[in-house]
Amino acid sequence: MAYRFRYTGDYYVSPTGDDSNSGTSPDAPFATIQAAMDAKGNTTTATTIVIGTGIYYEAVSTINTSNSNTNLTIQGDGVVIINGEGISDDTTNCALGNGGSTLRGTIINDITITNWHNAILDPNGGGNVYFAYFNRCKFINIFDVKRSDGNVIYYNDCIFVKSNFYYGSSNNGARYIRCKFFKSVINANDPYGSTDQRTTNSPYNAGYFGAEMSDCLFANPFDNEEYIAINFHKWNHNQTHGIIFTNNVFSAECTINSTKNSYRAGTRWGADITERNDVTHPFTQSAQEFVDELNTYGTWLAWDGEPGPLPQSITLGSKGKYLSKVINWNGSELTGSSNLENTFGTPYTINFNNDSYYEAAEHPPTRVLAYEHPAYGYGTINTGSNPFHTTGGATWENIIETGSGFTLSSSAIPSGTIESAVIDQGISRTIQDVQFNWSADSSTNSSAISYYTGSQGGPGTLYTYQMRYGDSSDLSSNEYKIFPLNETPYLDTNESGSGDINFITGSQNSVKGRYLQFKLTLRTDWNG
Amino acid sequence: MAIYTLPNSASWDDSLDFADQSEEAQEFWNNLIGSITPTSIYEPTSNPNLDRLTSQTWLDTSYSGSYNYQVIITREYQNSPTHQRAFAIRTTHTLLNILDK
């Protein structure tokens, strides 16, 4: 079946494609990411490669070996996983950046990289990074090696699960912004740079670049053990270079350690750390409680407020204790599916609503996740009951209901509208993410995922996700607005929703309200 | 096992992995790759418009000292050239050679 792409680009990739295709049309995608990379070749013309939902077992080279900006965007379209299982080794390959290739200036969006020794740049392959941007990516079970060649990488809104990464490498620092680290270790190997240049340098002008970690969350939901969340292996450059380390949240089992000389009087970054000693320790629950909560609700509820008044200083000194204990990478964890099961708690499969580890954990069939930025609040609202179930007050139109939830009949092309009951969050909250877990049988499941159209030979199910909200329980006069499913709801510049599932917002206005109501419209083809 | 001084004055210990070499040494090889057009070898696939790369060789003879510097990167694919997933790479191999002139 052809995969229905949401994004447009210069090249398309799908597991159901073929490398003998042109790759330039959504109807004729390549089967491998590498084919698209090679088709792009060494050109520095702006190029977008769109990768469709699926698991890709391949080590990718960006082929561009020049010292110029690749001008390349790699866009995941759906749940896209580059899996090193059966491929990854510790010295000669990685997920992205094999064989001397560079990721300089490459933008990688919405990709999951899992089961690799090395996520970015193979250890012996040469090549460099220099200002690569990972946005909304996930790194699961990665043991990333040190590469000392300008790892100026931006990680924005990324999730790291059981992975080791580097905070800074030699003369350039990585930037982790709004990232979540779940039993993952950041190894800060002598990061230094210039906070001044951090804001003034041209994005593609590599130079001393200050490392940054801001608004990140560290937690260990997998076991009850303490672990070292950040390791400052070496941090002793006598440079007037700064790092930013602010507004990060650490759960109880996560600690920070410095293993070598960490402070030299007069260095600016040392002063920065002193001034920015705002690491908080807000969780009041034990690690086990944390895990229990995760298993029950799929995420945690404990904290939904301002950061606690418990500043925890980072121990820095010339005789910093050697307490480093990185997560030992175990090669056996890369074999079979057991690792993924261990990581996610349940066997990991590609499905409609499974794009992060906690979503795959056990949780009620339908829930609403609402949380704010870690620096301002964090928590989850579980609806407690399925708001799309008729007994919960939902209204139905032309939907065949079976079982206890929302089930599509195998004998009918689903269409119609489902309107949920009004959901009371208790207080007004910023809506960060709204997730629905759909259930569909085998004959319609694929169509629900791929938006297969009737004209392409199969039944089609295109859904439109609408939400209305407010601080009054009576939402009847509020306008339903259209948002992308499983993405952060934002309002456009007119503060209204428009368009379709591909609705692209024009601003970053957050959606906030106490009461929520959802409406899903299923249609039989892409064009409605 | 030998230790060389690279043209950028960095030390290169050929008994160490690339990742364990000094930052300056790594930069030397990275700059070599980035500044010279390689000789590339391809093989045909089922795609009439896209052959697949099997190896690339960079050779820098520009230095006046005793050595030339060569990088050879080869690709190891998972499947045959006619396979649906012909371009899926299993791994790459990098050889860094310091050659007598």
Interface check for B16 against chain A (CB to CB < 8 A): the answer is: no
Q: What is the mean pLDDT of chain A?
A: 58
Q: What ipTM describes this predicted complex? A: 0.94
Strands (E), A15-71: 47-56
Residues of A in contact with B26 (CB under 8 A): 126, 147-149
Q: Lowest-confidence range among A38-42, A522-526, B19-23?
A: A522-526
Task: Select the more confidently predicted residue: A226 or A346.
Answer: A226
Torsion of CA A441, A444, A446, A447, to 10 degrees: -160
Quote the Cα angle for A488-A493-A496, to 5°.
70
Q: How many CB atoms lie within 10 A of CB A93?
A: 29
Backbone angles phi, psi at A511, to 5 degrees: -95, 130
- Give the residue-averaged pLDDT of B46-61: 95
Q: What is the pLDDT of residue A35?
A: 97
Q: Lowest-confidence range among A103-107, A183-187, A465-469?
A: A183-187
* Nearest CB neighbour to B19, from listed A30, A58, A145: A145
Task: Select the more confidently predicted residue: A306 or A423.
Answer: A423
- Give the residue-averaged pLDDT of A436-453: 40
Tokens standing for residue B86: 């012909």
Interface check for B23 against chain A (CB to CB < 8 A): the answer is: yes
Give tens-digit pLDDT for A224-279: 566 667 665 444 343 334 455 555 666 655 666 544 333 322 222 332 332 222 23
Strands B3-5 and A512-523 come out as: unpaired
In this prediction, residue A49 has a pLDDT band, given cuts at 50, 70 and 90, of: very high
In this prediction, residue A489 has a pLDDT band, given cuts at 50, 70 and 90, of: low
Q: What is the pLDDT of residue A396?
A: 60
Interface check for A154 against chain B (CB to CB < 8 A): the answer is: no
- Left (φ > 0), alpha (ψ -120 to 50) or beta: where does A80 sit? beta
Strands A462-470 and A512-523 come out as: antiparallel
Task: Select the more confidently predicted residue: A405 or A154.
Answer: A154
Q: What is the pLDDT of residue A524?
A: 52
Residue A24 has pLDDT above 70, yes or no: yes
Nearest CA-CA distance, residue A526 and chain B, Å: 28
In this prediction, residue B17 has a pLDDT band, given cuts at 50, 70 and 90, of: confident
A334: helix, strand or coil: helix
- Give the residue-averaged pLDDT of A182-208: 44
Give percent of chain A with pLDDT exceeding 70: 36
- Contact (CB, 8 A) for B15 and B1: yes
Tokens standing for residue A97: 């950046």
Does the beta-carbon distance from B50 to A39 stay under 8 Å? yes
In this prediction, residue A414 has a pLDDT band, given cuts at 50, 70 and 90, of: low
Give percent of chain A with pLDDT exceeding 90: 9
Give tens-digit pLDDT for A348-402: 222 222 222 222 222 222 222 222 222 222 233 444 455 565 555 666 655 555 4
Q: What is the pLDDT of residue A237?
A: 40
